[in-house]
Amino acid sequence: MTRLTIAAAQFAPVDDPSVNLETVRAAAEDAAARGAQLLVTPEYTSYFAAEIDDRFVAAAQPLDGPFVTGLRRIARSTGVALVVGVAEAGSDASRFRNTLVAIDPDGALVCTYRKVHLYDAFGSRESDRIEPGDPEQLPVFELGGVWVGLETCYDLRFPEVTRRLAAGPASAGAARGGGAAADVVVVPAEWVRGPGKEHHWRTLLTARAIENTVWVLGVGQAPPIGIGGSVALDPSGVAVAALGAAPGLLVTTVDTDVTAEVRRVNPSLSLRRYDVTVRSDGAGAGAGDVTPR
């Protein structure tokens, strides 16, 4: 049996990285007091405004910049590992990267994930300002004997993303990074409000848990732009902890014995007949194909 206690901080980041850093610090201290070993925060924790425009590009920082350096100090001072969404400086002056950073309790940057599926939907155009991540990424890191996989917001609408994380590197071909299959997939998001969006969010998170028999933790921004709705789901898709729309801290414990029992009863992950491969034509900003096993 391996257990990992994870906290999800649901809040609405602002357009001041120093204020957001203090929000993360307070959440990490609260998480530590409640026995959490890992704190996950929403997409765009370092900087957020209602429109993704040149302000995001100007606010983006390198991974050795003051915001991530501050996160590393918070991890060391609280003893809590962090997964945080940041605006990372891009490779050109006109765009930035939508990045998750994973920092261990000693303050080491142990994993990064740059969002592959950009939110060019529902009237938004993330690709106008954001560089897509490499679709070969397989961002999985180990903490306390539990393997944690990373994806971001709109990625959730593409089932192959979670499938690659849950199935592990053996089924992901030549994917770079990631040492094992994920026991839990964390999904920091800024799930924008709109008709039916709460239903989409909860349904997709639940489907990813059920179809992969894996723990899933969705961490959303609170209103006014996001819907909140952070939730922890066990490998059978049962919500074991959840928040509404208001800011708050959710705490849950991932238990790999629960995963083993669900997979004993329903071995669908091992019975699958297809693997996911990355499309070589570059279409769809990292869309995946399926190939027979």
- Residues involved in catalysis: 43, 115, 153
- The mean pLDDT of 15-30, rounded to a whole number, is 98
Does residue 176 register a pLDDT over 70? no
User: What pLDDT sits at residue 286?
Assistant: 43
Please state which of the ranges 132-146, 172-186, 262-276 shows the lowest mean pLDDT: 172-186
Axis-axis angle for helices 197-212, 159-167 (nearest 10) = 30
User: What pLDDT sits at residue 1?
Assistant: 72
The type of residue at 15 is: D
> Are the beta carbons of 208 and 156 closer than 8 angstroms?
yes
Does residue 283 register a pLDDT over 70? no
Going by C-alpha positions, the residue among 116, 64, 62 that lies closest to residue 89 is 62
What Cα–Cα distance (Å) separates residue 190 from each residue in 52, 153, 226?
12, 6, 6
What average pLDDT does the structure give for the chain? 93
- The boundaries of the domain holding residue 264 are 3-292
pTM reported for the whole predicted model: 0.93
Q: What is the CATH number of the domain that holds 104?
A: 3.60.110.10
User: What pLDDT sits at residue 134?
Assistant: 96
CA distance 261 to 247: 33
Sheet holding 184-189, edge to edge: 140-143, 146-150, 184-189, 215-220, 231-233, 239-242
- The mean pLDDT of 114-142, rounded to a whole number, is 95
- The mean pLDDT of 267-275, rounded to a whole number, is 93
User: What pLDDT sits at residue 287?
Assistant: 45
CA distance 126 to 133: 12
pLDDT digits (tens, 9 = 90+) for 136-173: 999 999 999 999 999 999 999 999 999 999 999 866 54
pLDDT digits (tens, 9 = 90+) for 83-115: 999 999 999 899 999 999 999 999 999 999 999
CA distance 205 to 57: 30
Does residue 175 register a pLDDT over 50? no
Number of domains within the chain:
1
User: What pLDDT sits at residue 154?
Assistant: 97
Does residue 174 register a pLDDT over 50? no
